[in-house]
Amino acid sequence: MSKTSEHIYTMHIDDGAPSHPGGSNNYFVGDPQKKMVIIDTGDYERKWTKSIIEYYVQLGKPPIEAILITHGHGDHTGGLDRLQDLVGCPVRCHPDLVGKLSRVLGDESMVIPLEDREKIHLDRSVDLEVIFTPGHEVDHVCYYLACDGVMFTGDAVLGASSTSVRDLTSYMKSLELITTYEHDTVCPAHGPVVPPPKGKDLVQWQLDHRLSRERQVLAALEKGALSISDIRSSIYPSDLDERLIPTAESNVERHLDKLVDEGRVCRTDSIFNIAQ
């Protein structure tokens, strides 16, 4: 039983997934004597769902007000049907995810869309604020627990690695938004919980890391790089493991997409130039 803060109990599991070192977390938030919510439901495998259920039993089977979903990926929604069967509560998620999760449960009355900035009330002065944070996925949501100074970042910011991003323009806007919420602890879906003092600056650090990558991409273009592979070889080490080249190049491409969106870079077929 691992208590992270006054209102947070963390169920950590070593799922061994290579894409995110440091295992994964499901969170129970609230007072086990009164009522709680569960954040995310883990992957499809039985072992994971069983671990969440055992944890729920250890907490004394508290009344569960809702299951809150950070986004629709399988490692966050895989245990949903079994867990929801057990606790019998509504499921709350981003509006774009309602259709899919309703089909999973076979009951659309149990899946209720979240509203951006909605506050989910748990107890006197214990509220979880919903923050829509597209980027990793369009349906991504973070949750903010002001009373404990905690940000639940889902897959937007991980505890021990950087995350995959579908749309970097909206991702960076989302990180900027998260930094405006005062918090000193980050509770990610994958990797360890990051407590103070590091937890206070982790989101800003991730944002700075992406901004410095962006500056490197612009500098490579200024020096005459034209293609994605030119840019990659200019900013990554020359002895980069060959197996990592596709990831590095897709990372460069995300940055270029963002810069093209913003009108700072022009694209002609697969040739890129600084916009004049």
Q: Tell me whether residue 180 is exposed, middle or buried, using C-beta atoms within 10 angstroms of its C-beta: 0 to 12, 13 to 18, 19 or more.
A: exposed
CA dihedral sign, ordered 268, 271, 275, 276: negative
Taking alpha carbons only, the member of 51, 24, 39 closest to residue 93 is 39
Tokens of 117: 């900035």
Taking alpha carbons only, the member of 38, 49, 107 closest to residue 74 is 49
Between 140 and 232, CB nearer to Zn ion: 140
Q: Least distance from C-beta 70 to Zn ion, angstroms?
A: 8
| Whole-angstrom distance, CA of residue 141 vs CA of residue 134 | 7
Between 75 and 214, CB nearer to Zn ion: 75
| Whole-angstrom distance, CA of residue 156 vs CA of residue 153 | 5
Neighbours of 176 (CB within 10 A): 12
Q: Least distance from C-beta 266 to Zn ion, angstroms?
A: 35
**253, 166 contact by CB (below 8 A):** no
Map tokens 């969440």 to a residue. Answer: 52
Q: Least distance from C-beta 100 to Zn ion, angstroms?
A: 16
Q: Which residue type is seen at 240?
A: L
Q: Least distance from C-beta 82 to Zn ion, angstroms?
A: 18
**130, 122 contact by CB (below 8 A):** no
- Which parts of this chain interact with Zn ion (CB under 5 A)? 75, 155
Tokens of 186: 């980050």
Q: Least distance from C-beta 189 to Zn ion, angstroms?
A: 5
| 129 DSSP β-pair partners | 119, 144
Between 139 and 155, CB nearer to Zn ion: 155
Between 65 and 75, CB nearer to Zn ion: 75
**173, 140 contact by CB (below 8 A):** no
Between 23 and 195, CB nearer to Zn ion: 23
Between 43 and 148, CB nearer to Zn ion: 43
Q: Least distance from C-beta 19 to Zn ion, angstroms?
A: 8
CA-based end-to-end distance of the chain:
58
Helices (H) and strands (E) in the chain, counts: 8, 14
Q: Least distance from C-beta 158 to Zn ion, angstroms?
A: 8
Between 35 and 140, CB nearer to Zn ion: 140
Between 136 and 210, CB nearer to Zn ion: 136
Q: Least distance from C-beta 73 to Zn ion, angstroms?
A: 5
